[in-house]
């Protein structure tokens, strides 16, 4: 292909990638769906504009560079405080879960195709990797709870590394031309090389960015370029020392640098994110274009059986085992079971393996090796294709059906009031994000286990990045009344939020707040109410204070059609034990009232459930069931 034609093709692929990203944002569908569709249309399955000869032997180098950038960027975003959202689940997913995926997939491939165990284990290792290239686009359009996203993102980053290294080690026993090497020695040599190179590169970059004068006028740009160059150097040097050690190197370097206190971090994140989108689109489109339909079709029913077992049997088993005893709801665990698409690492490594096996087959005149190359490539790409398309395309619909996209509660102000409120709300199952500007308070709040967005809550962009577009409640709880009023006005004018509540530190400001339509809580009056409750009704005051430990009170809308038109006396026995309807509001009456036994629940009624904590939670599910 002429240089001008190649340039035009590359530009076209990048343009398609950008368009795919725009469509993804518009249609709320993961961008990987459009990448694969474009690749199939341009490649050998379609118009044959993009073929194996287009880039020649340089494709593997291009893919390697892309992998370095993608893995580094994913690791750079993986913050320690984010992992703390679900530390136990994350650890189990990358240990117990990875072993289940490896052993289960290998056994399935072995008995589906009758291939040797070494090839089965190679394929099993490759298909352990979920990876940020396919998980992140899904999470971009499915804003699940932070603990769910943290577990899936951590699994993707770490499993990309271990899967690539394990696959290389197992492949050494498949390719007869490969140098024999002990399993543990091969694994730990590559992992150790990656760790060492990654730590060195991260340390050098940290020193250069933090302590070397990068020229004030162009410091952000120089920092971005240094990080990009560092990622590529880490990958190249580690791979030079040990094949596929580069994946571990860039993951370690990205993680260490992303969690270090470096200047221009926001600039680096934005820059790396944009570069990643470009290379990700290019590589996915290119690899999808090289799919050999005959190879996929040749797998037949055994190939489909392998994908079905990987996605529908092994994935749910490993997720449910990995999340046992944690805070995940059943619906969240089902959703996580559904989100396990395979991505760029297995695709690129499988392509490399298939090429090596086919070369060995020709040189040794061994048709068995050629067949094994087709099975390896076909199974991996069929799994990538089907899991990416179906899981990526249906992820948001599944999430909505399972109701795992929580409406957020945003609290602006991470002081004592904000943290105390967040504790009570999270105890009731709310998805709370705190916005705080003071760095010390941010650190303190994160150490307490809360999700925190560092920034000024009076900034529209900060509110948006904290999830205001998907929030049902915004609480302005800072110690500054002017800031609280501004937050309330921004939330009201810029976002469609059901409830906006502001804290008034000065009682004289309450009337001014309410004149602007802001629901206001006076700190002085709230304290007076609490003292009055302790004097006049100490038992209920104590019970309400300990609501997170012993009981709960929740107000929800009656949506269950089986309950509408029934009296409170008829509904009562269907509620869980130790749960009762205390108040009713809405419907044909605005004021809350204690209902009589004959009161008939109507559409639009809001009921207040009171009782033991778990009973109230079960009662809420019953009342809101549609």
Q: What pLDDT digit, counting tens, does each position of 60-110 carry?
A: 777 777 777 877 877 777 777 666 666 788 888 888 999 999 999 999 999
84 Cβ contact partners less than 8 Å away, ≥ 6 residues apart = 150, 446, 449
Q: How sure is the predictor about 588, in pLDDT bands with cuts at 50, 70 and 90?
A: low
Residue 403, pLDDT > 80, answer: no
Greater confidence (323 vs 282) lies with 323
Angstrom distance (rounded) from CA 22 to CA 2: 30
Angstrom distance (rounded) from CA 185 to CA 177: 19
Contact at 8 Å (CB) between 579 and 611?
Answer: yes
Angstrom distance (rounded) from CA 126 to CA 379: 10
Residue 301 in tokens:
């029913």
Give the mean pLDDT of the chain: 80
Mean pLDDT of 166-182: 68
Q: What's the pLDDT at 306?
A: 92
Angstrom distance (rounded) from CA 238 to CA 226: 18
Q: What is the largest CA-CA distance in the chain?
A: 93
Contact at 8 Å (CB) between 412 and 487?
Answer: yes
150 Cβ contact partners less than 8 Å away, ≥ 6 residues apart = 82, 83, 84, 85, 86, 90
According to the per-residue pLDDT averaged within each range, which of 238-247, 334-343, 418-427, 438-447 is highest? 334-343
Q: How far apart are the first and last CA of the chain?
A: 59
The bridge status of strand 431-436 relative to strand 408-412 is: parallel
Mean pLDDT of 499-517: 80
Contact at 8 Å (CB) between 231 and 254?
Answer: yes
Angle between helices 367-386 and 293-308 (to 10 degrees): 60
Contact at 8 Å (CB) between 51 and 43?
Answer: yes
Residue 54: name the closest of 44, 64, 41 by CA. 44
Q: What pLDDT digit, counting tens, does each position of 108-137 carry?
A: 999 998 888 888 998 998 898 887 777 877
Q: What's the pLDDT at 308?
A: 93
Contact at 8 Å (CB) between 596 and 612?
Answer: no
Greater confidence (199 vs 288) lies with 199
Residue 516, pLDDT > 60, answer: yes
Angstrom distance (rounded) from CA 585 to CA 595: 9
According to the per-residue pLDDT averaged within each range, which of 144-148, 422-426, 471-475 is highest? 471-475
Angstrom distance (rounded) from CA 257 to CA 227: 9
Q: Count CA atoms closer than 13 A to 295's CA, side-chain side.
A: 21
Q: The pTM is what? A: 0.64
Angstrom distance (rounded) from CA 457 to CA 417: 16
Complete edge-to-edge strand list for the sheet that includes strand 471-476 = 451-454, 431-436, 408-412, 471-476, 499-504, 519-522
Grouping H, G, I as helix, E, B as strand and the rest as coil, residue 373 is helix
Mean pLDDT of 289-298: 78
Q: How sure is the predictor about 318, in pLDDT bands with cuts at 50, 70 and 90?
A: very high
DSSP 156-182: HHHHHHHHHHHHHHHHTTT-TTSPP--
Residue 477, pLDDT > 70, answer: yes
Q: Which residues pair with 500 in a beta bridge?
A: 474
Mean pLDDT of 583-607: 80
Residue 341: name the closest of 78, 139, 60, 113 by CA. 139
Q: What pLDDT digit, counting tens, does each position of 232-254 carry?
A: 888 888 888 877 677 788 888 88
Q: Which has the minimum average pLDDT: 176-185, 294-303, 333-342? A: 176-185
Helix (H) or strand (E) holding 436, with range, is strand 431-436
Angstrom distance (rounded) from CA 451 to CA 544: 25
Mean pLDDT of 223-235: 84
Alpha helical stretches, state H, 309-366 = 315-322, 330-338, 344-364
The angle at the Cα of 38, spanning 36 to 43, to the nearest 5 degrees, equals: 95
Q: What's the pLDDT at 319?
A: 92
Q: What pLDDT digit, counting tens, does each position of 538-584 carry?
A: 776 666 665 445 677 888 888 888 888 888 888 888 888 888 888 88
Mean pLDDT of 350-354: 79
Q: Which residues pair with 581 in a beta bridge?
A: 609
């Amino acid at each position: 292909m002429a240089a001008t034609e190649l340039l035009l093709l590359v530009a076209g692929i990048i343009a398609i990638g950008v368009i795919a990203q725009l469509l993804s944002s518009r249609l709320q569908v993961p961008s990987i769906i459009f990448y694969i569709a474009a690749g199939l249309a341009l490649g050998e399955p379609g118009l044959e504009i993009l073929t194996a000869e287009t880039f020649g032997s340089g494709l593997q180098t291009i893919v390697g560079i892309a992998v370095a950038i993608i893995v580094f960027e994913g690791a750079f975003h993986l913050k320690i405080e984010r992992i703390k959202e679900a530390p136990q689940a994350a650890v189990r997913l990358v240990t117990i879960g990875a072993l289940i995926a490896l052993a289960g997939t290998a056994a399935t491939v072995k008995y589906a195709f009758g291939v040797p165990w070494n090839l089965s284990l190679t394929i099993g290792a490759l298909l352990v990797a979920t990876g940020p290239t396919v998980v992140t686009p899904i999470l971009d359009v499915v804003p699940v709870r932070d603990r769910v996203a943290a577990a899936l993102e951590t699994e993707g980053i770490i499993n990309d590394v271990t899967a690539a290294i394990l696959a290389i080690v197992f492949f050494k026993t498949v390719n007869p031309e490969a140098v024999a090497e002990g399993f543990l020695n091969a694994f730990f040599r590559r992992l150790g090389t990656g760790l060492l190179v990654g730590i060195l590169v991260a340390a050098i970059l940290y020193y250069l960015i933090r302590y070397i004068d990068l020229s004030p006028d162009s410091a952000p740009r120089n920092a971005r370029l240094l990080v990009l160059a560092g990622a590529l150097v880490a990958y190249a040097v580690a791979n030079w020392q040990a094949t596929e050690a580069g994946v571990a190197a860039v993951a370690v370097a990205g993680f260490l640098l992303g969690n270090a206190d470096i200047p221009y971090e926001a600039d680096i994140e934005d820059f790396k994110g944009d570069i990643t989108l470009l290379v990700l689109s290019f590589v996915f489109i290119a690899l999808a274009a090289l799919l050999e339909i005959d190879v996929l079709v040749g797998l037949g029913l055994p190939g489909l059986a392998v994908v079905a077992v990987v996605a529908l049997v092994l994935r749910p088993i490993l997720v449910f085992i990995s999340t046992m005893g944690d805070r995940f709801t059943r619906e969240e665990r089902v959703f996580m079971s559904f989100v396990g698409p395979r991505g760029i690492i297995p695709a690129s490594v499988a392509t490399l393996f298939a090429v090596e096996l086919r070369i060995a087959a020709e040189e040794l005149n061994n048709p068995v090796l050629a067949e094994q190359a087709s099975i390896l490539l076909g199974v991996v790409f069929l799994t990538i294709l089907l899991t990416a398309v179906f899981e990526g395309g249906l992820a948001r619909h599944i999430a909505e059906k399972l109701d795992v996209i929580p409406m957020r509660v945003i609290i602006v102000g991470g002081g004592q009031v904000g943290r105390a409120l967040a504790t009570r709300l999270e105890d009731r199952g709310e998805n709370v994000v705190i916005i705080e500007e003071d760095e010390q308070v941010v650190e303190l709040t994160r150490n307490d286990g809360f999700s925190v967005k560092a920034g000024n809550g009076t900034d529209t962009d900060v509110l948006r990045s904290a999830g205001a577009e998907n929030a049902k409640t915004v609480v302005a709880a800072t110690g500054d009344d002017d800031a609280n009023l501004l937050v309330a006005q921004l939330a009201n004018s810029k976002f469609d939020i059901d409830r906006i509540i502001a804290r008034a530190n000065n009682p004289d400001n309450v009337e001014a707040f309410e004149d602007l339509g802001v629901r206001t809580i006076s700190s002085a009056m709230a304290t007076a109410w609490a003292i009055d409750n302790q004097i006049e009704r100490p038992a209920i005051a104590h019970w309400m204070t300990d609501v997170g430990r012993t009981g709960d009170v929740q107000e929800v809308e009656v949506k269950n059609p089986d309950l509408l038109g029934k009296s409170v006396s008829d509904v009562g026995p269907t509620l869980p034990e130790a749960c009762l309807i205390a108040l009713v509001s809405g419907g044909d009456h605005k004021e809350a009232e204690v209902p009589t036994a004959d009161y008939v629940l109507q559409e639009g009624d809001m009921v207040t459930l009171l009782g033991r904590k778990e009973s109230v939670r079960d009662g809420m599910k019953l009342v809101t069931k549609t």
